[in-house]
Amino acid sequence: MFAYHINTRYIKVDQNHPEADAIAGAGLILRRGGLVAFPTETVYGLGADATNARAVARIFEAKGRPPDNPIIVHVASRSQLSALVVGVPTAAKILMDTFWPGPLTIILPAAKGVPEVVTAGLATVAVRMPDHPVALELIKVAGVPVAAPSANLSGKPSPTHAAHVLQDLDGRIEAVLDGGPAGVGVESTVIDLTAEAPVILRPGGITPEELGACLGEVIIDSDVLAGSYDGDSPRSPGMKYTHYAPRAPLLLVTGNGPAVALKIRQLACAEKCVGRRVGILTYSDSSDFSAAGEVVVAGRRERPETVAAGLYSALRRFNELGVDVILAEGLEEKGVGLAVMNRLKKAAGGRIIQV
């Protein structure tokens, strides 16, 4: 049985010049089967020794993560792949040459030694090389590949600051490395290279357009666009379950800009009339909703990368404000906007209005 009374160490590190002692201590925790939260360029990850099934199982316990949800394995060098995957096809080499280190996860056939708890019983494993000096140094010092989903309670907004990790996991894990805010703000793009054609299973910081420029034909899984999953065993993290959700129910409103603004005002008025406190997720270049509810600006609509960077902090802000319902504006599903909308659809759990 997992004990929730661990003294979680908070360790501040300079992301450009991480202190050797701090990283060495965290690496030792991983080698001994402990859990360490650490910054990546996307979000904060919750790491365990990927070769230690018992340690990886503790990730599921600490997060409350469903056991059929596979975990991405992080590496610091391609040499670590030999123990994780059965061969590296040409397409994977092209993507690694272009995007690694970076926010791209590649699904490949799993080697026999990969623990089943990592793959969720699948014949494949998801691997990536993070583009963050603290993450890379931690993996090198630990001397093992590191299994790491986002460092939050399962289903909640992913953490982009160390403080977010502590809000969810203080007392449940051994250590948190604070390397400052994550830059990309949404999890890595996941591409499956085990099918006939490359398939994007989760959009992220690397866009379909960028992947297509490298590989030619790239398919976007239909569940990505729908924001839902109807299968039994998800092939990638972030597919099956409601994710990224704040405490209050979120309603996503999409469509033409003026019509969206009008609909949000109407919905806010109806909610306030029955005594509910309304939160509105919007963008700095959108309509003024200050009279309609508690407004949180995630970023700039015309620059979706700023929305990606600010999205999870914005969703967590609504928890602090104590709103009863959240009304969120949609974005164009293009480039990084596809990743943002995927996360908002997941957070909405099917509550979407098209106007």
- What does each C-alpha distance from 57 to 9, 48, 127 come to in angstroms? 21, 9, 18
Pick one of 3.30.2010.10, 3.40.50.1100, 3.40.50.2300, 3.90.870.10 as the CATH number of 9-226. Answer: 3.90.870.10
Tokens of 25: 């201590």
Q: Is 250-354 in the same CATH topology as 9-226? A: no
**The pLDDT of residue 225:** 80
- The pLDDT profile of the chain, 355 residues, written as one tens digit per residue, is 455 689 999 999 988 877 778 899 999 999 999 999 999 999 999 999 999 999 999 999 999 999 999 999 999 999 999 999 999 999 999 999 999 999 999 999 999 999 999 999 999 999 999 999 999 999 999 999 999 999 999 999 999 999 999 999 999 999 999 999 999 999 999 999 998 899 999 999 999 999 999 999 899 999 888 766 555 666 777 665 667 899 999 999 999 889 999 999 999 999 999 999 999 999 998 889 999 999 999 999 999 999 999 999 999 999 999 999 999 999 999 999 999 999 999 999 999 999 9
**The pLDDT of residue 233:** 63
Which residues does residue 355 pair with via DSSP β-bridges, in sequence order? none
The single-letter code of the amino acid at 301 is R
**The pLDDT of residue 1:** 43
25-61 burial by CB neighbour count: b if 16+ within 10 A, else e? bbbebbeeebbbbbbbbbbbbbbbbbbbeebbbbbbe
Per DSSP bridges, beta strands 278-282 and 294-297 are parallel
Q: Which of 11, 42, 23 is nearest to 336 (CA)?
A: 42
Instruction: Give residue 220's Cα distance to chain centre.
Output: 18
Please state which CATH number belongs to domain 250-354. Answer: 3.40.50.11030
Intra-chain end-to-end CA distance of the chain, in Å: 49
Q: Which residues contact 16 (CB under 8 A, 6 or more apart)?
A: 133
DSSP notation for 164-186: HHHHHHTTTSSEEEE----SS-S
Domain boundaries, the chain: 9-226, 250-354
Give the residue carrying structure tokens 């948190």.
176
**The pLDDT of residue 204:** 97
Question: What does residue 109 show for φ and ψ, rounded to 5 degrees?
Answer: -60, 135
The single-letter code of the amino acid at 151 is A
